[in-house]
Amino acid sequence: MKRMAVVLAAGKGKRMKSKLYKVLHPVCGKPMVGHVLDAVQKVNCERSVVVVGHGAEAVQSFLGDRAEYALQSEQLGTGHAVRQAEPLIGAEQGTTIVICGDTPLVTPETLENLIHQHESEGAAVTILTAVMEDPTGYGRIIRDADGSVIKIVEQKDGTPEELAVQEINTGTYCFDNSLLFSALSKVTNNNAQQEYYLPDCITILREQGKRISAYVTADISESIGVNDRVALSEAEQFMRRRLARHHMLNGVTIIDPDSTYIGADVQIGSDTVLHPGTILKGNTVIGEDCVIGPNTEIEDSRVASGTTIRQSVLSETEVGQEGMIGPFAYLRPGTVLGDQVKVGDFVELKNAKIGNGSKVPHLSYVGDAEVGSGVNIGCGAITANYDGMNKFKTIIEDDVFIGSNSNLIAPVRVGKGAYVVAGSTITNDVDANDLAIARARQENKAGYADKIRAKAKAIKEQK
């Protein structure tokens, strides 16, 4: 049977008090609507329609061609929102999930179970529900003796007996697609808000003698709909714990999950250890047998197996196997490190390719450079890549030794096996196996230090 999804993402989210549209607020680094679309597509929904309104261009820009779009120019209720998808999928036969774009914690496993129950029971609609210890404020699920749903009762309309029910409506549904749009055509806005409500379809289908089912999620966190910053924080906490558990069960050691941040799309190999204060974001991939942290931030980077990174920041960087980075290194976009590269404390790299076995141990800057294998760059050495208007490349070939406090003024090339003497400022190419010295000749003036001190003392006494 064909599967489809309608994702409701048209609301501005006034309670967020934000210039950013509600469904674009991130949870563990990914906008909420991205989590929702991931979930429905992982259960093989062949067509996914995202209903947009406020911030339509921004939502479409983020999701791109992953979905089809329907515009709800006026927000006239959830039923009205779903009807905007009718021109796209109204004629389809199959099963349709209707889900809000601000429910990032719903899992593909739960949606799969929801669909399975819906189809196996031959229901017209199956509601995703949850059992809450304190259901105050939520619509209650009222069931018949056979377990089918009679109705959903809102807090303000319930009797004491109905309000004692702890099973609540999460706002996620599974519909027979034809029956969904047939029922929506009969929904009216005869209510105080003059809006068209999707749950009214349940009453309509029940009156037609159709079966209304409900599936109870085992994880109460999946019921969280994010309407304000408090709920956003709660969703973030639940997602962080879920992701940490996932990685730990896959063989990753996380010393302190509560102080470790792992983004939703991060991949980590087995036997890697994450120390407290580790932050892994974006499309980061960490290999096996790595040691990361403490207090390390890595974003959109790839780290090969066996690498240790301590107290450092990496962004859009590739690190080879068995590297040693940090503490206090800063690897900026475009950096590519080979295998067994050492990058030490207070080193900054930007758009630099460093070959296998090379070392940049401490207090150096290497930018817009190609560095070969077996190179040693001494303390305080820099590549001067920017002249105030343009950037230029430095090329350092294999087995070069760059002495401490050297300046390489790009564009410049240092040939294979060459030596650059400490304190040199190199403005011309150095041929292979040459020794480059570029510094002023030292001159010692005998006894001159005493004259300087005497002069300073005289000036002080005059004051």
Residues placed in the known binding site for acetyl-CoA: 385-386, 404, 422, 439
407/323 Cα distance (integer angstroms): 25
Paired tokens of 31: 């906008």
Mention every residue, 6+ apart, whose C-beta is less than 8 A from residue 369.
Answer: 351, 352, 353, 383, 385, 393, 394, 395, 396, 410
Q: With contact defined as beta carbons under 8 Å apart, do 140 and 163 qualify? A: yes
Q: Which two tokens stand for residue 82?
A: 């779903």
The Cα 179–Cα 206 span in angstroms is: 11
**CA–CA dist 202, 212 (Å, integer):** 7
Phi and psi at residue 376, to the nearest 5°:
-115, 120
Whose tokens are 């010295």? That residue is 437
Query: What is the per-residue DSSP string for 419-443?
Result: EE-TT-EE-S-B-TT-EE--SPPP-
HEC string of 32-101 equals: HHHHHHHHHHHCCCCEEEEEEECEHHHHHHHHHHHCEEEECCCCCCHHHHHHCCHHHHCCCCCEEEEEEC
> Which residues make beta-bridge pairs with 425?
407
Which residue in this structure is represented by tokens 């005493």?
450
| DSSP designation for 391 | B
Q: Which positions make up the binding site?
A: 8-11, 22, 72, 77-78, 102, 139, 154, 169, 227, 332, 350, 365, 376, 385-386, 404, 422, 439
Polymer length in residues for the chain = 463
Residue 270 CA to residue 444 CA, distance in Å, equals 60
Whether 362 sits among the annotated catalytic residues: the reply is: yes
> How many C-beta neighbours within 10 Å does residue 161 have?
8
Q: What is the DSSP letter of 25?
A: S
Q: Classify residue 240 as left (phi > 0), alpha (psi -120 to 50) or beta.
A: alpha
* DSSP alpha helix (H) spans, 155-306: 160-163, 177-184, 200-207, 229-249
Which amino acids are annotated as binding site for Mg(2+), given as ranges?
Answer: 102, 227
For residue 220, the 8-state DSSP code is: G
Integer CA distances (angstroms), 448 to 207, 442, 455, 461, in order: 106, 15, 11, 20
Selected catalytic residue, list 80, 118, 247, 362: 362
**What CA–CA distance (Å, rounded) separates 299 from 411?**
30
- Where do we find the tokens 């990914």? 30
Distance CA(170)–CA(283), nearest Å, equals: 30
* Active-site residue list: 362
